[in-house]
Amino acid sequence: MIAKMQLITLTADKEKVDELLSKFIDYKGFHPVDPQKILTTVHGSSAYDGGNPTTELIEEIKEIESELGLTLLPVKTRDLKDNLDDMHQYIVDSHHAFSVEFNDIKRLESENSKMLVALQQLEYLESLDLSFDDLFGTKFLSVRFGKLPFDSIERVSYYQHKPFIFIPFSEDKETKELWCLYITSNEFKREIDNLFTSMYFERVYIPEFVHGTPGDAREVLKSTIEKNKLEIDELRKLLIELGLKYQEKLGIIKGELEFLNLMYEAKKYVVGFGDRISLTGFIEKNCLKDFEKTFESIDTVQIDIDEATSDQRFQPPTKLKNNWFTRPFQVFVEMYGIPSYGDVDPTTFMAISYTLLFGIMFGDFGQGLLLALIGFLLGKFKGWSLGPIVTRIGMSGAFFGLIYGEFFGNAHVLTPLYDFLGQFGITFLPFHPMDSHNTMTLLLTAVGLGAALILVSIIVNTYFKFKHKDYAQAICSPNGVSGLLFYGYILVGILFEMLLGIQGFFSIIPIILLIIVPILLIFLKEPIERKMHGEKMFPDGLGGFFMEGFFELFEVLLSYVTNTLSFLRVGGFVLSHAGLMMVVNVLAQNGEIWWAMALGNLFVMALEGLIVGIQVLRLEFYEMFSRYYDGDGILFNPIA
């Protein structure tokens, strides 16, 4: 259901703007209109947006929170005790108070990070029994540490005649590289460097703070890292103490800044008229009394109330209000598009049809209950938006699982239940989809259900087209009266003549009235629509119209067939589920291999749950929504 809206215009003296916006922010139920639509049509109006000076201060607060490692709890306030300059000065002073400690922590953490990298490098060089100071202190030699790919090791022997010494250390099995060094004279270092580069040698630079042998250097680095960690812990304790000292006041400032930020953001919706300001938007109709009560304390305010559609400049927003069962399916509706105000809300129809179709296609009592439980837990404890939907469709799958006699793929577990029901004359259960005499019934039922859903979609579209006085679309559209008569008559005729054996349904007069006439109306829809709008019926000539109209009519007739047959997938997935579970039973030796049975059920449940969910969504969007739903509305978005 789409909530009824009212168009509201508030005007007040200019000096009351902050008080007015403050109440708007607290009200949280006012959807403002785009002020440009007023500024471009009303002479003498002016924008009231003067920038937002709080943005920079809020960023500084966030920086302080990051440095302190805490989240300041904003103190909600409407009594602004400090101006922006005072707030900024306090933020700067408090930031400066612990900047030394924070910078020291950053410096020590940076040092530790570099030393940890050096430790990892030294681990591969530990077999070297030479001092780095001696190696790098040579005047006439150049030393290069690094890694060489395994593929290049053999190539080193090809260049033994070159002026270098190659010393391997250890191998890294994961990266398939050899840690090594080579030594050459300064005279030949360019030549040798180029040579090793051609063998994909990756040089590793030993930091300047590393001294002595690799073993000695590792011990020194470990000791330094531990010392730095202790110092960091002490500095963090000091930061926490400083944070507690400034926390209360910073929390108050944060609350004031967040409120002021909302105020400045809201000012962009205000329009000025000399000494008066105006704010226009929409509220729910049933909230009108509360809205008036909110602003009655402002003595100069004037509230004008109109119907939501009274001003053609503004498109009323849409707020969906549905019951507990259908509300979760709004996420799918919004995925397709927001319904226009005054148009159809497809949520209820979608919730029922989606749940029904998923249950038919997924049908398994055990898997359905497990799926419902998973959806409930994920929705309850993880806040997953699709959780409530999964719960509902899981229960639907469990219901149809009872009809099919499926319990985690086992067709015999529920036999006692059907024996009990048989005592009361209920002998048609279970309906096993894989039985040869049931397969055709299943497929025909799937097509019949799809045809019924398409008919309902056409009826819904026809009703709302008449409601909006779009008579050409309501009567001549393939999804209007013409389409309803044509499609409905053919379906009823097939039902009577082919399935029930009642002959004579397709006689000449009904064919003319219910097939030929609707087809002609569909063919002539665009010329009729132009005529009703006072335009020329055939602007491109009769020849161009007939050529274009013929192909469009052919596409329309073809769409009736393809859309209807598209629902064969409903029956197809019932059969595929039964087939997959037969395979699982064979692999698990009819349950004797319990882990194979469990894994098989989980695999089928996950695979089919995902695929069936997507396929049902496709049926909803392409076969039903496309016939009656546009989804070109805007979402109700309050000012706060």
Q: How many CA atoms lie within 13 A of 220 on its CB side?
A: 11
Task: Supply the pLDDT for residue 367.
Answer: 92
Q: How far apart are CA 448 and CA 442, in angstroms?
A: 10
| Residue burial 80-113, b: 16+ Cβ < 10 Å; e: rest | eeeeeeebbebbeebbeebeebbebbeebeeebe
- The last residue of a domain, from among 195, 212, 229: 212
Q: How far apart are CA 623 and CA 616, in angstroms?
A: 10
Q: If you write DSSP's letter for every residue of 130-149 in order, what string do you get?
A: S-HHHHHT-SSEEEEEEEEE
Whether 308 and 346 map to the same domain: the answer is no
Residue type, 49: D
Task: Supply the pLDDT for residue 196.
Answer: 93
Residue type, 22: S
CB atoms within 10 A of CB 122: 22
Task: Supply the pLDDT for residue 157.
Answer: 87
Q: How do beta strands 276-284 and 271-273 pair?
A: antiparallel
pLDDT in tens, 40-71: 888 777 777 667 888 888 888 888 777 777 77
Give residue 17's domain range: 1-44+281-319
Please tell me the total count of domains within the chain.
4
pLDDT in tens, 128-184: 777 888 888 888 899 998 889 998 998 998 898 899 999 888 888 888 989 889 999
- 517: tokens are 């006439």
Whether 459 and 590 map to the same domain: the answer is yes
Task: Supply the pLDDT for residue 355.
Answer: 96
Task: Supply the pLDDT for residue 383.
Answer: 87
Whether 494 and 408 map to the same domain: the answer is yes
548 Cβ contact list (under 8 Å, min separation 6):
540
Task: Supply the pLDDT for residue 80.
Answer: 57
10-residue mean pLDDT profile of the chain (640 residues): values are 89 84 82 86 74 83 77 67 77 79 84 84 79 83 90 89 90 88 91 92 85 85 88 83 77 83 85 86 89 83 88 90 92 91 90 95 91 93 91 94 86 80 76 82 90 93 88 89 92 79 75 89 85 78 80 88 91 87 82 82 90 93 89 85
pLDDT in tens, 417-459: 877 777 777 777 788 888 878 888 888 899 999 999 999 999 9
- 487: tokens are 């499609």
Task: Supply the pLDDT for residue 193.
Answer: 92
Q: If you write DSSP's letter for every residue of 326-389 in order, what string do you get?
A: TGGGHHHHHHH-BPPTTS--THHHHHHHHHHHHHHHH--HHHHHHHHHHHHHHHHHS--TTHHH
Whether 440 and 581 map to the same domain: the answer is yes
Whether 614 and 506 map to the same domain: the answer is yes
Task: Supply the pLDDT for residue 291.
Answer: 85
Whether the CB-CB separation of 539 and 411 falls below 8 Å is answered with no
- The last residue of a domain, from among 212, 246, 265: 212
- The last residue of a domain, from among 212, 228, 263: 212
Whether 495 and 535 map to the same domain: the answer is yes
Q: What angle do CA 380, 383, 384 make, to 5 degrees?
A: 105
HEC string of 150-193 equals HHHHHHHHHHCCCCEEEEEEEEECCCCEEEEEEEEECCCHHHHH
| Helix ranges (DSSP H) in 405-480 | 415-422, 436-467, 471-476
Q: Is 436 helix (H, G, I), strand (E, B) or coil?
A: helix
Q: How far apart are CA 225 and CA 115, in angstroms?
A: 7
Answer whether residue 227 is part of any domain.
no
Answer whether residue 395 is part of any domain.
yes
Task: Supply the pLDDT for residue 287.
Answer: 87
Whether the CB-CB separation of 1 and 329 falls below 8 Å is answered with no
Answer whether residue 324 is part of any domain.
no
Q: How far apart are CA 348 and CA 326, in angstroms?
A: 6
Task: Supply the pLDDT for residue 486.
Answer: 92
Whether the CB-CB separation of 181 and 169 falls below 8 Å is answered with yes
Q: How far apart are CA 345 and CA 333, in angstroms?
A: 9
Host H or E run for residue 315: none
- Alpha-carbon torsion (108, 112, 118, 122), positive or negative: positive
Cα 482 vs. chain centroid, distance in angstroms?
Answer: 39
- 450: tokens are 């799809």
Phi, psi for 308 (deg, rounded to 5): -60, -35
Whether 459 and 535 map to the same domain: the answer is yes
Answer whether residue 77 is part of any domain.
yes
For residue 522, give Cα distances in angstroms to 476, 514, 525: 5, 12, 5
- Alpha-carbon torsion (511, 516, 519, 521), positive or negative: negative
Q: How far apart are CA 135 and CA 389, in angstroms?
A: 69
Q: How far apart are CA 613 and CA 354, in angstroms?
A: 9
Whether 429 and 296 map to the same domain: the answer is no
Answer whether residue 632 is part of any domain.
no
Q: If you write DSSP's letter for every residue of 470-506 in order, what string do you get?
A: -HHHHHHSTTSHHHHHHHHHHHHHHIIIIIS-----S
Q: How far apart are CA 243 and CA 305, in angstroms?
A: 50
Q: How far apart are CA 574 and CA 443, in angstroms?
A: 9
Answer whether residue 221 is part of any domain.
no
Host H or E run for residue 402: helix 387-404
Q: How far apart are CA 578 and CA 439, in angstroms?
A: 12
Task: Supply the pLDDT for residue 222.
Answer: 86
Residue type, 502: I
Residue located via tokens 């960023």: 59
Query: CA dihedral in degrees (518, 520, 524, 525; nearest 10)?
Result: 10
Q: What is the CATH number of the domain that holds 208?
A: 3.30.70.2750
Answer whether residue 639 is part of any domain.
no
Task: Supply the pLDDT for residue 35.
Answer: 85
Q: Is 100 helix (H, G, I), strand (E, B) or coil?
A: helix
- Alpha-carbon torsion (488, 494, 496, 500), positive or negative: negative
Task: Supply the pLDDT for residue 49.
Answer: 65
Whether 375 and 477 map to the same domain: the answer is yes
Whether the CB-CB separation of 339 and 629 falls below 8 Å is answered with yes
Q: If you write DSSP's letter for every residue of 552-601 in order, what string do you get?
A: HHHHHHHHHHHHHHTTHHHHHHHHHHHHHHHHHHHHTTTTTSHHHHHHHH
Closest by CA position to 242, among listed 59, 75, 95, 89: 95
Whether the CB-CB separation of 146 and 197 falls below 8 Å is answered with no
- 130: tokens are 């030479």
Whether 473 and 364 map to the same domain: the answer is yes
Q: Is 420 helix (H, G, I), strand (E, B) or coil?
A: helix
Answer whether residue 640 is part of any domain.
no
Whether 145 and 64 map to the same domain: the answer is no
Task: Supply the pLDDT for residue 21.
Answer: 83
Whether 194 and 312 map to the same domain: the answer is no
Closest by CA position to 328, among listed 370, 397, 378, 385: 385
